[in-house]
Structure 1
Amino acid sequence: DPQFGGPMAEAVLEVLNNKKVRGVITTHYSNLKLFAGNTPGLENASMLFDNAKMKPLYILEMGKPGSSYAFEIAQNIGLPKEVIQLAREKTGSNQNRVDTMLVDLEREKKTIYDAKVSLANQQNKAKNLVAENEKLRAFLDENRRVLIKEAKQEAQNIIKNANKLVENTIAEIKEKQADKEVTKQLRQNLHQELVKNTVPKEKPKPVQVIVGGEIVVGDWVKFTDSETTGQVLEINRNELVLAIGDLRSNVKKNRVQKISNKEAKKVIQSSASSFAGRMNDAVSGFRAELDLRGKRTEDALFEVEKYLDKAIMLGFPSIKLIHGKGDGILRRMIREYLRKYSQVNRMEDEHADRGGDGITYVYLN
């Protein structure tokens, strides 16, 4: 009977502690956990338990008692809920609070243990990186010393050879008594040797020339990797907002280069003649209906953005977005996203007989 077994076990433990006996005591008695926490010479310990997966981790943690997880395990093995609830009521509020506290404590211990393991892994990675960095630095230092030594040796050899060549040249000129043809030939040989040992100059890197200075609002620019042109509407640090026809697009500054107004006019005139034909083709090939079912929210919003821009450019009065019902998250995210567009007048659900709130009609200004 735990009512008598608990005090009996506590008395045994107290006598053993007074006699300075060492040992490991395993128990489920809650009174022993409290007794060990308040008595010098005794220390609580418990095995870590993953209360999410309801599995033991077989790791001993010193200093804190653990829970028996009686109710959690009972629920996990399929004991009826009314039986578990009745058992909680019979256990008493104080004991329930203690057990709940132990479960929370166990969860905190698991979190702390995971954090310790993660920190230890990061420290090991940092140590390995430091060690690799030291090895690399030592390797580079050794290579630098070897290269400097070889360069000095090469320079000494060049100087020695140059001195010998000059001395031989002077001696031959004297021996030939300054014959013009021989002197000319010797000078050419000397010049060739000098050119052979000359270090070639590096060509300067080409500097990109920006036509007319920095890019400002109102300038015309062209993409560096295509012939597409646009006019700058806004500048946000390293990003530009461009008007490309009826579309607005955000691009990085380094993707475009400024062009002159004269060149921009030529581009506009050349493209104007074919614009009407392209618009007719675009309108005939455009469907005012977009199916987004099965897509992730991020991918769906990206598709909506492209689709809406095209619909606005082509002048369509409304579009139909099929997102399905599900839990309603995709529908809510799409509608919140569309509210940011000033071109959107209103949004409505489809008729209940034809899809209801699984379809959104978007009416444009």
Structure 2
Amino acid sequence: MIYPENFERKIGFNEIRTLLKGRCLSSLGTEWVDKELHFMHDFEQIKQALDEAREYKIFEEQTDEEVETEFFDVREALLRARPERTFLEELDLFNLKRSIASVLSYAKLFTQKVDDEALSTTDADTENNRGQIKYLYPALGKMACDVAVFPDIIRRIDNILNKYGKVKDTASPELLSLRHQIEITTRGISHSLRSIINEAQTSGYIDRDVTPTLRDGRLVIPVAPALKRKIKGIVHDESATGKTVFIEPSAVVDANNKIRTLRAAERREVIRILQEITIEIRPHIPELISSLHFLAHVDFLRALNAFSNSFGAIVPNIQPKPSISWMRAIHPLLQHSLAKHGGKVVPLDVELRPGQRILLISGPNAGGKSVCLKTVGLLQYMLQCGMPVPAGEDSCPGIFDDIMIDIGDEQSIENDLSTYSSHLQNMKVMMKSANSRSLLLIDEFGGGTEPQIGGAMAQAILKRFIDNLNFGIITTHYQNLKHFAEQTRAVVNGAMLYDSKLMQPLFKLKVGNPGSSFAIEIARKMGIPADVIDYASKLVGKDYVMSDKYVQDIVRNKEYWEAKRRNITLKEQQLESTIARYEREMTDFQLERKRVMADAKAEAKHLIEQSNARIENTIRNIREAQAEKEKTKNLRNELAEFKTQIETDTDEQDRIARKIAKIQRRQQRKADGGDSAKAKSAAEQKIAATKLRNLSNSCNSQSSVSPSNNNKVLRAGSYVRIIGQSSIGRIESISGKSARVLFGMLYTQVPVSRLESCEAPKEENTALTQNATFVSKETRDAMYEKRLHFKPEIDIRGMHIDEALTAVSYFIDDAIQLEQSKVRILHGTGTGALRELVRNYLKTVPGVKHFHDEHVQFGGAGITVVDLA
């Protein structure tokens, strides 16, 4: 039920119809809009109509084929051709052919079937739907599946009519012969007329630019009235001014008569052909009219799609039960009007939660209350007419059986109705007819009479609506209704927001708060004298004015705190997302760290095994070779190359291990003891390299050292060489088990056990000795660069035991090599474990003369000062 009868006019749906009809291509579509576009309350019908609109939009976007879009209403011509001996004219036949060609094109495309491979095998209804046709566009396919198409009629008409809609010469042999005779006769007349005209022009009877013309189907010559007797013939007509007469020369009268006879025969033959094809079409006229009805539906869908695209309309998810849930809803007519002037509509969110059935909207005049009510009414009506609506995708409206509206002034002199009486009449119908599936739209509820009794009546009627379980949108200014809504669960207040600073409406609806009328503020803005406003405020009382102000403050504060709550919720979501991301990254880092450590341990183990195997193999080969010095020398060289490669790999592993340890200390200071594994693996590689070096030297000593040389006492000034090498050096000093030896220009600290005594080099071999101990320029540059950047202090605080020991050993080796006299090791006090470790290690280093605590002013026991030899 739609109440009242002028419902469509009140909510603006008549204008929607007009806009739709303006987008139709033919009277078929406009008639569909007028007759078939109506309010529906059956859920399945509404869903089918909405699905058709949605699928047609997809169809137009996806189809690449050329679609016939010629829509002609030939129903009247078909009805005229139903009696016997009647026929369709050429134009009607041509329009029929084009229309049913469009029907055939759309029906073919709408009923495209889905490939079997494209069907989901997991569909729960597969067994139930087995054997049913599955269309690519289900709703459009259902609409087009029973439409009759007439490809034979299209081909038959194409054989008769040309592309301009005229009967072809080849439509019949008789017609072809007649038109051939007409053409030959016409050419003969033209030849005769040209001869007569040339003769008359030569004689000066007619002008040079005169040509034959056609009058009443006959070829004639235009001649001046004074000279009409100069040319023998029949005068057929004269011009409107009387200055020209049209003469048919006697020589062509018989030929023109023949043409008239032939044209009459041609017309009879054309009619015969049209009657013949009409006889073929006549049995199919009911089906053809039904097909044109389908074409009208397509024209409507095409126009509806263009309308929806221009307004940004969508097909929302609908539910069969009554519900009000419109998000970002827009009044299409208001949008259309404002767009002409560059304005924009403010979208509205109108939603009633479960248990809420009536929205009571209050707020200032001209604040948008009526627009909000009309927007809900128009969109709901459009939806239940099967039309897409301009709203958000997350809208989820329901379906109502009835929509009733009370808006505007319905006073009537004829029916003796005042404004208030007309409102009461509408309320009476609503209370009597509305049910739990009815939507009531009431503007200015209770208005039109004395405010006190009007407010009381409005509250009583509102209570009846609640008892009847009606849904509704109601606008009002009455305070008692606002208080009633606050106390009643089924009714919720809504406010049209107003900017009290700029004194202008915001046209935004806020559900959950009552609105203020801002009567005093608006009056002050309009320039009403201040004393008048003050007097009015005194009349209503301070409590009323303050209560209105309190409402404004409550609304403003609630909006502020809700904005705060939204921001906090957003920040919490962002924080949770960030924490989850960091946790994922930390997990990935831990897994990568474990993988790197496992790889390092495996590499170190493999390196040790490889080193041991290579050393043992070399020793075995040397022993087997015995006196073969050349082979022994080659084996030593191979072992030296392998040693160099291992040490290079070890240095690289040390560098990687130190870098990883540094990253771990910076990012995860309190991580578990897993970091030590990396340094430990690097230390194992260093140990392997040291073991390889020592065993290599041992191998060299077995193959090249004379036992008698080791028995000589070594002292300062003795000439020595490292066991297994040929370079000769001189001992500068001996400290404990270590000796400082000068090889060429380079001092080296070497354990005494690795030295053997030798004869002093002869003068003639000095150059050879110098060559043997020569240091390349690249080596000197590298040593200089290292000395330049060397820092005589190292900080090992926070390192693990193995990592600290490795770092200190490298540091002391570099300091000795660079001939540093004093270095400092910063280990801190703490538990004293690092301090003890460092000092135990320093005791084993031959190049360390002495170590002690730093002065108390510079760190005390937290720093160890090392004096180097």
TM-score (norm 1): 0.48
Larger radius of gyration: 2
Higher relative contact order (CA 8 A, sep 6+): 2
